[in-house]
Amino acid sequence: MAADGQCSLPASWRPVTLTHVEYPAGDLSGHLLAYLSLSPIFVIVGFVTLIIFKRELHTISFLGGLALNEGVNWLIKHVIQEPRPCGGPHTAVGTKYGMPSSHSQFMWFFSIYSFLFLYLRVYLLYHTWSQVLYGGIAGGLMAIAWFVFTQEVLTPLFPRIAAWPISEFFLIRDTSLIPNVLWFEYTVTRAEAR
């Protein structure tokens, strides 16, 4: 603890910009869209929650695909090195490169819901339409590639992976051979509760 009247040399501070989103003051649409731009964080929290409670291999694989997608996005940004759009007031954005939009790529990978999400990236001047479009193309291609990889390569391995001692310890399960998981869980839970 420093003595009264004494302090250390000022440190160089950097913000954690994971959730730093700006919007034009007084712009209700911009305010709503700024909150909507946090969707990837909500998606990740949803995935982690689902994995903790269900421990299903397909869900774990889906999250792995999203993580790989983010890594590919980082690589593309550092190869292309296209700057973010001019005119925005954003001085504390996480990276200096905007191509492709990692938000765009993530949301295209996840769902069609992303149209509103993509619109807000341009509306709030974080990206141009071309950056969002190329992020969407990259995310779409990654989603297709990861889906095919999961179905053709990983799914046949899931029964073996679920039988590993580490998987049994963490209660990891494979429901890929169960035609109706909801009905199966319902009937097993009912039978166990009696």
Specify whether the CB–CB gap between 43 and 110 falls below 8 A.
Answer: yes
| pLDDT number for residue 192 | 92
Residue 90: phi and psi, rounded to 5, are -80, 105
Length in residues, the chain: 194
111-167 pLDDT, tens per residue? Answer: 655 566 667 778 777 788 888 888 889 888 988 999 899 999 999 999 999 999 999
CA 98 to centroid of chain Cα atoms: 17
Specify whether the CB–CB gap between 114 and 108 falls below 8 A.
Answer: yes
Specify whether the CB–CB gap between 87 and 123 falls below 8 A.
Answer: no
41-100 pLDDT, tens per residue? Answer: 888 999 999 999 999 998 898 889 888 888 988 898 889 888 877 765 555 555 566 667
Report, as an integer, the average pLDDT of 2-31: 72
pLDDT higher than 90, residue 191? yes
